[in-house]
Structure 1
């Protein structure tokens, strides 16, 4: 089960995507389907089949986005969070080998297409929550436990 929270920026992006799909892309694809259907035999009409498939994909994504937007809680930054790792924080961590990672802890729906975002539900994020600079976090991985040290936290 995933946590149903999202940052304000993530929520706005979900709404923008929904608006784009519903108001711009879907009407355009619907016109193409109607045009291709008017040409006659649909069984061998590649335009019709492709655009009909795309229309189903759009409708599926629109349903998902509407449900997600309705059921997701937006979590905004609060000044009390300063100094500790909470939802929405940017964190720089380092291990004993000197390997450094920088990422932001966000909701599940925000991580796609971003290499510098991790889900609040990930083992790394869970291990870092409520920690402060110079604290160590023990992360359970399939290879065993890994120790990371927090260098920097910002919002």
Structure 2
């Protein structure tokens, strides 16, 4: 099975790492302590603290496993080091205008850091696939569930090199 790379920006990777560290070093140990205390209170079958704690611990362990897997498969790409700054590639912030001259600004990011409300779209989303490789002035058709929309690329920007 051909799997796509898990591209992620340095800040996106840092957020995954911070969440992992917070769960592993703070939340999980505190929960284990609570479960241990609850287990010492006797009958576990009707002990709400124990039952809820075990359930929450399973959820944290699943999240830790998922985060670990995503971090291991991550390919960190620093958009500020992009050589071809004229084209919309991973990490680019792209300004688009539709047929009604309404502008939309999107940043092409990894799947784990996408937040459409903040303008961060997965580089695999329909709109990102349509604009990948585009230059200023290019027209691109985006196939959406609501139908096709045509966008013109108004600007392509990358973060400044540090």
What's the TM-score once normalised by structure 1's chain length?
A: 0.92
Tell me if 1:21 matches 2:23. yes
Structure-1 residue corresponding to 2:102: 99
Runs of 4+ in 1 over 6 A off after TM superposition: none
Q: Which structure 2 residue ranges, 5 or more long, are not aligned?
A: none
Call closer, same or farther: CA 1:79–1:119 in 2, change over 3 Å.
Answer: closer
**Is 1:137 matched with 2:140?**
yes
Correspondence 1:88-127 to 2 at 5 A:
88-112=91-115, 115-127=118-130
- 1:103 Cα shift? 1.8
Equivalent positions of 1:1-150 (< 5 A) are 3-77=5-79, 78-112=81-115, 115-150=118-153
C-alpha root-mean-square deviation of aligned residues, in Å?
A: 1.7
**Aligned-pair distance for 1:2?**
5.2
TM-score (norm. length: structure 2) = 0.88
Structure 1 residue 112, shift from structure 2 partner: 4.9
Asked whether the 8 Å contact 2:97–2:103 carries over to 1, the reply is yes
In 2 relative to 1, CA 145–3 (structure 1 residues): closer, same or farther, beyond 3 Å? farther
